[in-house]
Amino acid sequence: MIQAFNLSKQYRKDSAALRDVTLKIAKGEFVYITGPSGAGKSTLLKLLYADERPTRGQILVDGQNLTRMNARRIAMVRRRLGVVFQDFKLINSRTVFENVAFPLEVQGKKRYEVSNRVYQVLKHVGIEHKMKRYPLELSGGEQQRVAIARALIIDPMILIADEPTGNLDPDNTREVMELFKGANARGTTVLIATHDRNMIERFPRRLLALDQGRLVEDRMP
Amino acid sequence: MRRLIYLLVRALRNMAQSPFLCSAAVGTVTVALLILAFFALVVLNVQQLTRHWSRDIQVVAYFDKVPSARRLDGVLSRLKGWPEVEGVRYVSPRQAYDRFFRRLGDDADLLAGLPRDFLPAALEIRLQPAARTSAGVAGLVERLRSSGDFSDLRYGQEWLEKFEAFLAVLRTAAVILGGFLLFAALFIVANTIKLTLYARRDELEVMALVGATPVFIKTPFLVEGALQGGIGGLLALAGGYGLFRLFLRQDLGALLLSTGLDRILFLPPTWQLVLVLTGTLLGFLGSLLSLRRLVRI
Ligand SMILES: Nc1ncnc2c1ncn2[C@@H]1O[C@H](COP(=O)(O)OP(=O)(O)OP(=O)(O)O)[C@@H](O)[C@H]1O
Ligand SMILES: [Mg+2]
């Protein structure tokens, strides 16, 4: 599903955020990416959803080489990815419903075509009673569930999460992890960058450790 | 088609969401185009004035002696065949004397004692509109001189040269000032639209993230820019017409009418269309410029 060969990323000439990373993640895997702050976790994920381009090396998603893609084809790949962030990245001028429907709207679907699906997903993450609210009227845990609903609405082949529980309390963290496990059980490949040791111990899965841009550990539970 | 309406609706919604920025962009275009329209109006009317004045441009050719009827016929038909000549009128010594007499009015007794045919016979040659330039006059004069039929030629070429130089300066000034204004307007519009982009950067980021194509992201902003520019152009046109009715027609009119012009013109329809299209293009380009720098996808 995901293959990276000798992947390097330099934001500036003198320092590398990622050095020579080679890895392979199969379809349906559940993988943690961990490491100290500044290790390159977010950078690796950004290369995966093509927010940044690698300085050297190749990165393939579902057999397609992201390094040689134009903006339009990258958009097409992103339509099959769900991405979740620590800071949610919701559109604050739109309601919960509109936020979750947004990926489908962008693909040109009409509201009445998608409203049923949106409702189902909102119900799945347990936030359907607040679908007419705006993001800033919700708690952090609720906002993150909206963000996850937005990621799940397209039935993503890969779910990418960058410290999704970084701002959440233990209860919300557990609920969010349950949602990720559920998506994984339905066949979605899941990638989570985190430095929450508790979480890794409670739901042990394959773990990739980065340090100063290098892949220093690849361990199965 | 459905897609087009959707993009248009999105553009309108964006505009409704930031009315202040929207009116700033529209206002900039309006002011810039209003000044341009004013200049166009002045140039247009001065040009009209030139055309009016140039009707009086003529070359007077004096015969050395009164031509015989046959010779006159020959010369007249030859001259009428020249492409730069619009018309030729023969002025006999008697007619010249009468004209002179009338012009002198009370001083006509100065002519007492002079023979009635002391003035030379002459041809008054009017030029075709296209030849009413200093070059056209010079060409005609050269031809007349080399024909050898005339002893003297009189023409207002120097005056014409000065006037042409003045027109050229006016036109160059209009072009330079217009270009500068358009450039400044483009800069301001681009930055205003950049502010609207900045105001919705969360939306733009999410759009790119969930797989919106570059066209999908950019088109509403381009439409927004074009709409704002077009509205600015229309307002400039309306404002220009208002000012024209209120002030120009009288004030500029008073100035120009004293020179013999019978009517001050407003911009003709094609110029009006060009004005609105310029506004539209301005907004569109402004959007395009700011998008190129901000949306990196
Ligand atoms: N846009 C950028 N421009 C320049 N340098 C950057 C940029 N993004 C990241 N870096 C640098 O790249 C290195 C890796 O950053 P990255 O965000 O991938 O780390 P991280 O592992 O996600 O850290 P954290 O756990 O704090 O989120 C850091 O040294 C960081 O300063
Ligand atoms: Mg990070």
Number of CB atoms found within 10 A of residue B51's CB = 12
Question: What tokens appear for A145 in the block?
Answer: 């569930």
Task: Report the number of distinct structural domains present in chain B.
Answer: 2
Q: What is d(CA B42, CA B171) in angstroms, rounded to the nearest whole number?
A: 10
% of chain A beyond a pLDDT of 90: 83
Which of B109, B128, B155 terminates a domain? The answer is B155
Question: What tokens appear for B128 in the block?
Answer: 């075709």
Give me the mean pLDDT over the A118-146 stretch.
94
pLDDT of A5 strictly over 90: yes
Ligand 1 atom with minimal separation from the A40 CA: 18
| B115 and B219 part of one domain | no
| B31 and B98 part of one domain | no
| B28 and B122 part of one domain | no
Q: Find where tokens 């907004």 sit.
A: B283
- Nearest chain A residue to B295 by CA distance is A71
Q: Which of A174, A99, A171, A110 lies closest to A137 in space, CA to CA? A: A99
Looking at the partner chain, which of B3, B206, B215 has a beta carbon nearest the beta carbon of A102?
B206
| B268 and B191 part of one domain | yes
| B46 and B66 part of one domain | no
| B97 and B170 part of one domain | no
| B287 and B173 part of one domain | yes
Q: What is d(CA A128, CA A115) in angstroms, rounded to the nearest whole number?
A: 12
pTM, two decimal places: 0.74
Q: Which of B185, B244, B219, B238 lies closest to B45 in space, CA to CA? A: B244
Q: Which of residues 23-52 of A touch B (CB under 8 A)?
A: 49, 51
Q: What is the DSSP string of B219-232?
A: HHHHHHHHHHHHHH
The one-digit pLDDT tens for each residue of chain B (297 residues) are 777 787 788 888 877 877 887 888 888 889 888 888 888 887 787 777 777 777 777 888 888 888 888 888 888 888 888 888 888 888 888 888 888 888 887 777 777 778 877 888 888 888 887 777 778 888 888 888 887 778 888 877 677 777 778 878 888 888 888 888 888 888 888 888 788 788 888 888 999 999 998 888 888 888 888 998 999 999 999 998 888 888 766 766 666 666 666 667 788 888 899 999 999 999 999 888 888 766 554
| B62 and B49 part of one domain | no
**Pocket of ligand 1 from Cβ distances under 6 Å:** A 11-12, 17, 35, 37-43
Distance (angstroms) between ligand 1 centre and the Cα of A82 equals 21
| B127 and B259 part of one domain | no
Looking at the partner chain, which of B3, B200, B212 has a beta carbon nearest the beta carbon of A106?
B212
| B263 and B138 part of one domain | no
| B146 and B165 part of one domain | no
Q: Which of B228, B196, B220, B212 lies closest to B17 in space, CA to CA? A: B196
Q: What share of residues in chain B are helix, strand, coil (percent, to 5)?
A: 75, 10, 15
| CATH classification at residue B86 | 3.30.70.3040
Asked whether the beta carbons of residue B202 and residue A78 sit closer than 8 angstroms, the reply is no
CB contact set of A122 (below 8 Å; sequence gap of 6+): A96, A97, A100, A128, A131, A146, A149
Which of B129, B155, B181 terminates a domain? The answer is B155
Which of B155, B173, B191 terminates a domain? The answer is B155
The chain-wide mean pLDDT, for chain A, equals: 93
| CB of A112 less than 8 A from some CB of B | no
What does the pLDDT read at residue B297? 43
Give me the mean pLDDT over the A118-133 stretch.
94
Tell me what ipTM this predicted complex has: 0.89
| CB of A72 less than 8 A from some CB of B | yes
| CB of A78 less than 8 A from some CB of B | yes
Question: What tokens appear for A214 in the block?
Answer: 């290098």
Domain of residue B31, residue span: 2-53+161-294
| B235 and B138 part of one domain | no
